Copies of this chain bind each other. A is one copy, B any other.
Amino acid sequence: MGAKSEKWMLMVTARTPTNIAVIKYWGKRDEKLILPINDSISVTLDPNHLCTTTTVSVSPSFVEDRMWLNGKEISLQGGRFQSCLREIRARANDVEDKKKGIKIKKEDWQKLHLHIASYNNFPTAAGLASSAAGLACLVFSLAKLMNLKEDNSQLSAIARQGSGSACRSLYGGFVKWIMGKEENGSDSLAVQLADEKHWDDLVIIIAVVCARQKETSSTSGMRDTVETSALIQHRAKEVVPKRIIEMENAIQNHDFPSFARLACTDSNQFHAVCLDTHPPIFYMNDTSHRIISCVEKWNRAEGTPQVAYTFDAGPNAVMIARNRKTAALLLQRLLYNFPPQPGTDLDSYVIGDKSILEDAGVKHMKGVEALAPPPETKDNIVGEKSKGDVSYFICTRPGGGPVVLSDETHALLDPITGLPN
């Protein structure tokens, strides 16, 4: 153990992105190991706008494993946390910090306790895959702390056991979760298809939609779908494998029309099998439907897709625009159709990359009110504009994978007490 009695503490802080699936994961073949019934593909979101930061620390003075999420202590007793902690401890190695005079032997990790603090730079409850980023960040930061030799793909198989889609947050850019064949799940892991610079035209706008009803958790939802849907196996076995190949090609070739078609149809099919579940699961609401109609109408009017949309297990829309110019036009349309409630500040209604808002030429709330109806709606009866159906928009883009934050000012735990700052 360390030279300076029992007072030493070692800390690592890391940042991990969220991701949004464009070919969806829905349904497990093994509930415990979290093995999916089909491959999935995701886009990693820029961690500047959506990420989890986690500090993990170890000290002989800690009497038990403890964790804080957004400053509030949470239980680590859940099977999923325990799986990740067990798998990581089993792979821990000797660690030496010469500057601090600390030496931890491989076998010591089984006895040493951990303090973990995690923080999302976006609302946890907004249904933006916070558990994916969170579990990925936990696994990544612990792997650094315990000096694991495994690469990110091997780490992804550990994160997968915490939260399925977490495995796709171990890489930036475009990521495939290979379902694997092994019963023990060793080959069910994430690989990077292309990094975030490969297709850097893309701009992402997220509409955080107000929900009236509590949603079905994705864990119980996908279990119900596998048990009761008459369509899910056909989707997993016949439909998705072809789409995976097509989506990989679309990404490789920067083929936006194919990318958009596949992303939209696969999102809709995921929600279709939710509806085919007994009892049926509804994640999208009327606002989600209106966002889809708005995008579909525009894509149709342009003759070729300008924007792809995808919805996870909630009503929020993630829209991927083919480039900055398109993103600005999209934001105009969204603000026109989904204005905020009176008294809302534009600065808090459109967050993230504000330069898209500048490109859209909207400088203040009066600018939103002055927006002209988009040309494609002119001939049609325009759907009612109802204020406040969207909570806010986040402008972002594809982004990079996990990183260690070596600057200690980012740490979420106090280096003396080991408690949240």
Contact = CB atoms under 8 A, between A and B. Distances in A.
A378 to B, nearest CB: 16
Interface string A251-278: 0000000000100110011011101111
Given A286-B285, A383-B212, A275 B272 contact: yes
A111 interface: no
Nearest to A240: B230
A126 to B, nearest CB: 18
A90 interface: no
Contact of A230 (B269, B279, B282, B381): B269
Contacts of A108: none
A84 interface: no
B278 A265 contact: yes
Nearest to A214: B381
A278 B268 contact: yes
Contact of A280 (B268, B278, B282): B268
Contacts of A261: 278
Interface string A267-308: 011011101111110100110011011001000100000000
A380 to B, nearest CB: 9
A386 to B, nearest CB: 9
A262 to B, nearest CB: 10
Interface in A356-411: 381, 383-384
Interface string A172-216: 000000000000000000000000000000000000000011100
A268 B383 CA distance: 25
A39 B308 CA distance: 36
Interface stretch (A21-29, A62-70, A139-147, A231-239): A231-239
Nearest to A383: B213
B275 A275 contact: yes
Contact of A271 (B269, B275, B285, B383): B275
A263 to B, nearest CB: 12
Given A231-B231, A239-B230, A213 B293 contact: yes
A292 to B, nearest CB: 6
Contacts of A289: 213, 282, 285
A214 to B, nearest CB: 6
Given A275-B275, A279-B292, A279-B296, 19 more contacts: A212-B286, A212-B383, A213-B289, A213-B293, A228-B265, A230-B235, A230-B238, A230-B269, A231-B235, A231-B239, A231-B269, A231-B272, A261-B278, A268-B275, A268-B277, A269-B275, A269-B276, A280-B292, A282-B292
Interface of A: 212-214, 228, 230-231, 234-235, 238-239, 261, 264-265, 268-269, 271-273, 275-280, 282, 285-286, 289-290, 292-293, 296, 300, 381, 383-384
5 contacts: A213-B383, A231-B239, A268-B280, A272-B272, A279-B296
- Closest 9 A-B residue pairs measured CB to CB? A272-B272, A272-B276, A279-B296, A272-B275, A234-B234, A268-B280, A230-B239, A282-B289, A286-B286
